[in-house]
Amino acid sequence: KAGVTQTPRYLIKTRGQQVTLSCSPISGHRSVSWYQQTPGQGLQFLFEYFSETQRNKGNFPGRFSGRQFSNSRSEMNVSTLELGDSALYLCASSSNRGGTGELFFGEGSRLTVL
């Protein structure tokens, strides 16, 4: 079964621009979470979606937003990019059908803001 797929893998933007990142979860997984990973802060939770609804949100400014579609695919958007937004953005999916509920991560989208 295919894993979590994120696109694009790498991108370079300039300050003030906006960016949209895409995530396709593992087939059958309806929960999708987004994390920002930086060397200084580690993995920080951005938000989580389930059945097209945002269920949880981390402590990030409103410039960070997301959505989930009926097929569970998710996108996140960052507007008015700042230099500090340079990071690896990781998407993770999980199954709500019992078990440990571990997160399955994609390889991430590495964003560089110049």
Partner 1 sequence: GQNIDQPTEMTATEGAIVQINCTYQTSGFNGLFWYQQHAGEAPTFLSYNVLDGLEEKGRFSSFLSRSKGYSYLLLKELQMKDSASYLCAVRDVNRGSTLGRLYFGRGTQLTVWP
The residue with tokens 């590495």 is: 110
Pick the closer one to partner 1 by CB: 15 or 55: 55
Applying CB under 8 A, among 20, 60, 73, 105 the residue interacting with partner 1 is 105
At residue 98, the 3 state secondary structure works out as coil
With CB under 8 A as the contact rule, the residue among 21, 23, 24, 33 that binds partner 1 is 33
**Residue 56 in 3-state DSSP?**
strand
Distance of alpha carbon 79 from the chain centroid = 14
SS3 83: helix
Q: Is 24 in the site for partner 1 (CB under 8 A)?
A: no
* Smaller CB separation from partner 1, 18 or 27: 27
Using CA atoms, how far apart are residues 19 and 65, in angstroms rounded to an integer? 11
- Which of 19, 23, 24, 48 binds partner 1 (CB under 8 A)? It is 48
Q: Which of these segments, 13-21, 43-51, 65-73, 76-84, binds partner 1 (CB under 8 A)?
A: 43-51
Question: 61 or 101, CB closer to partner 1?
Answer: 101
CB 31 within 8 A of CB 73: no
